[in-house]
Structure 1
């Protein structure tokens, strides 16, 4: 069986699909992952064969429309959800011609796309093969899908469609306790980390004498976008007398080391570090959120975009996190929230409940049989 995976053009979206891709490779199937040119080191670094289908990175699609005109990025929820869907759709449309060319010589039996990988349903419709949609985080993406359908009207009309094709199978990784009641039916799969690794030092996977707080803005963090955010958080947390660790890309870590004494920073695999932490302070990115939940660690979540707010607040409503908007994240509020999360044992108890729930969900290897049957039905 040949399976084409299409993530969303960022490290987190690649990491989310890697465990299922590796499970299928481990079962003897041929797997190929198609993404943007800048994601090829990420894809191949996880051990999955990859091919680039567009030379542009995600910031090209976030900031420019199809004609190359600059976009206004909305900051309110009613507009931001559809806006995100539209630029994901624009990226999918841009890669579709290359995908059609690739699949003339390497025809897949099945296409697996991430939550907003809109090239996946379009390609599957062109080829007449089954399409699987695998969630890469806990967001339902409903608003994004509406925006994507508007953006993709030319591509949909070419297929004789007015709506995005429904997947033949949905795979959901959100633990049931956090799943919105209106979520469509899906087959549950246990989330596992699929991030890049590095050679480790013993302190990364062992606990020290002090409480450990992880502060991160995810794998896309850059000096230009997130340096001030991370530096401010570290300075706010410093009075708590905790060990502070900042997993960050190397370029950003070098700048942080130059300004923050006593802070450990660098590309530290978060799945290794998280179980040693007492608290993770983060931006609500999907991979960071899932890694923290999987490790059973409380969160302080400061969503970097309003579309991340609702999933973050579901974790807070469950009792495993506190959420502050960027406007609320003053030094006093951040220090107060961290102090509460570290001192109130109920947050740890609820975080462990989520971790145990995730551990009961079916492993990616258990998805291989259903996907084989789906592909066989597609072959008729």
Structure 2
């Protein structure tokens, strides 16, 4: 069987899909990932065949420069310029990526399209190709199953960008046959139990649970990461987007707070320029880009910005977390963490050294946080694996519609 996977060009939007792609390949299916920008290289590094559906421009870079106000939009079509502000980044991805996804789909000839819930280009491609789709949630904080999400975002297939593309490409209004929608959240954080199916109130499509499997890239594992140190190890990261948009100044108070504690700090700041931070405290190990899955198992806590994947990974490993939320869905991730008791949250704009030191101290010493994270980790372990979900999808595909 041939399966086309389609995803938007952001790390947090694509990497959660990779374990399901691996499951499909391991089951003997022919697979292809359709994406663009940085995710073409990220997918290739994950060992996947990848097709760039919009090689004309770096869509992700265009989005970032638009958000930061650093780019010159004068050479862009009006449609392209207006979408980021009118419909958010997903509208931009729909306008730029749908046609290429359809074209590669026609050449590849898939029996199934697997796409994320926030990527209308995948659904539109499935509709144009006349094949079923599997829709996969890639958020640990919210899902299109939630009423509050729908109130804020509407239905992607009805967005301005999607309607523009439908008209331009002659797709029509019909959507693809959706086999199921996948929710990767732990049950106590809004997800489904392993034995639970939940029909979508909009169209009756079933929701299936799936275990979140952290994937954030491969790396040569340093020796120190294999061993738990004598004093607590605390991870610090701002993900891949926040440093680009907001810089790293919010790390100043975090590192000052942790620098005065009896802990070992692992600062994973990717390619961000850290010169504005000055000399780092002696207990801080700056590792650039090192996947969280490499060193989180030996950590006792993590401080981060609230990105979906960054929030989910500590849950998988049972690590308490302090969330200093940035933007987009970060505050919702932070609220989920606080409500479940697996960590704490604070507004980074008002955070000070004493407050952060106290919060991290609580995460390291109060049993309630370790208990809650252990409970969530156990819940996640009972959910169907990506391989189980893939097998269930193939069964559904083979049944008469």
Give the equivalent residue in structure 1 for 2:127: 125
Give the equivalent residue in structure 2 for 1:135: 137
Number of residue-to-residue matches in the alignment: 367
Instruction: Select the residue among 250, 272, 280 that pairs with 1:260.
Output: 280
Find the residue that maps to 2:250 and give its secondary structure.
helix
CA distance in 1, matches of 2:23, 2:17: 10
State the 1:206 CA deviation: 1.3
| TM-align CA RMSD | 2.7
Give the equivalent residue in structure 2 for 1:276: 298
Return 178-187 or 100-109, whichever deviates more: 178-187
Give the equivalent residue in structure 1 for 2:153: 144
Contact 1:223 1:255 (8 Å CA) reproduced: no
1:172 matched to 2:183? The reply is: yes
Give the equivalent residue in structure 2 for 1:45: 45
Give the equivalent residue in structure 2 for 1:304: 326
Return 294-303 or 338-347, whichever deviates more: 338-347
Specify whether residues 148 and 161 from structure 1 end up closer, same or farther in structure 2 by C-alpha distance, changes over 3 A only.
closer
Contact 1:205 1:276 (8 Å CA) reproduced: yes
By relative contact order (CA 8 Å, sep 6+), the higher-ranking structure is 1
Q: How far does the alpha carbon of each residue in 1:118-148 deviate from its partner, in whole angstroms, 9 at most, with x for none?
A: 1111111111111111111222243234477
Contact 2:95 2:164 (8 Å CA) reproduced: no
State the 1:112 CA deviation: 0.9
CA distance in 1, matches of 2:325, 2:102: 36
Find the residue that maps to 2:302 and give its secondary structure.
strand
CA distance in 1, matches of 2:316, 2:248: 27
Contact 2:12 2:308 (8 Å CA) reproduced: yes
CA distance in 2, matches of 1:238, 1:260: 8
Return 260-269 or 107-116, whichever deviates more: 260-269
Give the equivalent residue in structure 1 for 2:3: 3
CA distance in 2, matches of 1:71, 1:98: 18
Q: How far does the alpha carbon of each residue in 1:300-337 deviate from its partner, in whole angstroms, 9 at most, with x for none?
A: 11111153222321221111111112333233322222
Find the residue that maps to 2:329 and give its secondary structure.
helix
Give the equivalent residue in structure 2 for 1:78: none
Give the equivalent residue in structure 2 for 1:285: 307
State the 1:255 CA deviation: 4.3
CA distance in 2, matches of 1:59, 1:264: 29
Specify whether residues 223 and 272 from structure 1 end up closer, same or farther in structure 2 by C-alpha distance, changes over 3 A only.
same
1:372 matched to 2:394? The reply is: yes
Contact 1:204 1:268 (8 Å CA) reproduced: no
Give the equivalent residue in structure 2 for 1:338: 360
State the 1:279 CA deviation: 0.9
Specify whether residues 342 and 7 from structure 1 end up closer, same or farther in structure 2 by C-alpha distance, changes over 3 A only.
same
Find the residue that maps to 1:137 and give its secondary structure.
coil
Structure 2: gaps of 5 or more residues: 67-72, 145-149, 193-197, 201-205
Q: How far does the alpha carbon of each residue in 1:165-204 deviate from its partner, in whole angstroms, 9 at most, with x for none?
A: 6733111110111117999451111111222111111211
Contact 1:93 1:155 (8 Å CA) reproduced: yes
Give the equivalent residue in structure 2 for 1:153: 163
Contact 1:46 1:194 (8 Å CA) reproduced: no
Return 333-342 or 192-201, whichever deviates more: 333-342
* TM score, norm. by length of structure 2: 0.83
CA distance in 2, matches of 1:166, 1:217: 38
